[in-house]
Amino acid sequence: MEKKKRKINLVLIGVVLAGIIGLILLTKNGKIERISLAEETNTEASLGSFESLEDELSKHPELYRAVFDVEGVNPEENTYVIPGMDATLTLHHEHEGTDICTTMTPQGLAVNKDYLFISAYCKTKTHNSVIHVLDKKSGSFIKEIVLDGIPHAGGLAFDNNHELLWVTSEKGDTAQVITLSLKDIEAYDFTDSAEPINYTDSIALPDIKRASTITVHGDDLYVAHFDDEETSVMHRYLISTTENDNGEEVHALDTGKSTEEASPDDVDKIGKEIQGLAFHQEKLMLSRSSGRKHDSTLLSFDRLKENEDFTDKNVNTEITMPSYMEQIVVDGKHLYILFESGAYAYRDHGNPSIDRVMRVEIDTLFEE
């Protein structure tokens, strides 16, 4: 009888231990939310010290040189701490009440003369997606913009001509872009309203499978689709201002169709696994990332008007980058680079894991 009891007890202990281990693994992989006592978005670095990051980046000489070896520039001025990866104040998607998310994962990046914008989605799909707003000069956290629902928000682009922030989204199975006016962004206060921000415009993109990442160049919006198995596409849309049926001014991408749906003016080929795109002078840069087992790659192409093929066979320069590189943004002589490896679900897998946006001089990054 005693032997039978001991056996039952051992089985129960095994079941409990298995449950605890399973719970830890699910939490560690971002499948379930961690318990948090936080009441607001964390603004401090989520990973190690700046010195440890410097040590880790030495394995990537081009990026290291452009961040840490620029004469007359304090290296810390070339980085921005990504807020909210331990705790982000947002809305619970189902309960629609304010809540803390512990699995926010950064995806999109945009800058203008005053701000740096970082989009993030909840890995567990429990909470509304957000856009963190940082002061561009100091890097300090200003506030979060809570979006309506749980879009992946994989791409951001700031449109200086119209003072709009473009955001990739989806409506059902249809790709979509939404816009937020700078005026509305500056006036928005989630801590006061506890409501998602109102979108300025929303435009369906039925001709592309998914709006994964975007950039604005001149008067054009470029939208690309991420595909991890084969080559993909980059669509170009002319941005214009028009009126809707109610006589209200709206921003459109293809006035020949409607103000609520757009078809591309041009379609180019791009390679697989593209997470971000940016133009610099006559160059097109693409960021490629394919998970923890591979380094990321920054690709540079000559941007010839007759060239509609920005796949690997036409690449000019390749720079090896740490894994989990996401969106890239050009601002003057600088390239801003975002990684998702600082998010809780990925931070044990990066090489290294990075919890800061990197700002580098483009000429320094590409110098031979």
The CATH number given to whatever domain includes residue 323 is: 2.120.10
Residues 310 and 292: their CA atoms lie apart, in Å, by 24
> pLDDT by residue (tens digit) across 93-137?
998 899 999 999 999 999 999 999 999 999 999 999 999 999 999
Q: Are 222 and 236 in contact (CB under 8 A)?
A: yes
> pLDDT by residue (tens digit) across 303-320?
766 678 999 999 999 999
Between the CA of residue 225 and those of 8, 77, 86, 155, 320, what are the distances in Å? Answer: 54, 32, 29, 10, 22
22 and 99 in a single domain? The answer is no
27 and 139 in a single domain? The answer is no
68 and 27 in a single domain? The answer is no
271 and 321 in a single domain? The answer is yes
53 and 25 in a single domain? The answer is no
> pLDDT by residue (tens digit) across 222-264?
999 999 999 999 999 999 887 777 777 778 887 566 678 899 9
Q: What angle do CA 179, 121, 167 make, to 5 degrees?
A: 15
24 and 90 in a single domain? The answer is no
129 and 221 in a single domain? The answer is yes
Query: How sure is the predictor about 3, in pLDDT bands with cuts at 50, 70 and 90?
Result: low
To the nearest whole percent, how much of the chain has pLDDT over 70?
A: 90
58 and 9 in a single domain? The answer is no
129 and 104 in a single domain? The answer is yes
7 and 65 in a single domain? The answer is no
23 and 109 in a single domain? The answer is no
Residue 150 has pLDDT above 70, yes or no: yes
- Mean pLDDT computed over every residue of the chain: 90
pTM here? 0.90
Q: How many domains does the chain have?
A: 2
* Domain hosting residue 319, numbered range: 33-366
136 and 186 in a single domain? The answer is yes
Query: How sure is the predictor about 36, in pLDDT bands with cuts at 50, 70 and 90?
Result: very high
Cα 59 versus chain centre, distance: 24
Residue 205 has pLDDT above 90, yes or no: yes
Angle, helices 50-57/61-68, rounded to nearest 10 degrees = 140
Residue 158 has pLDDT above 90, yes or no: yes
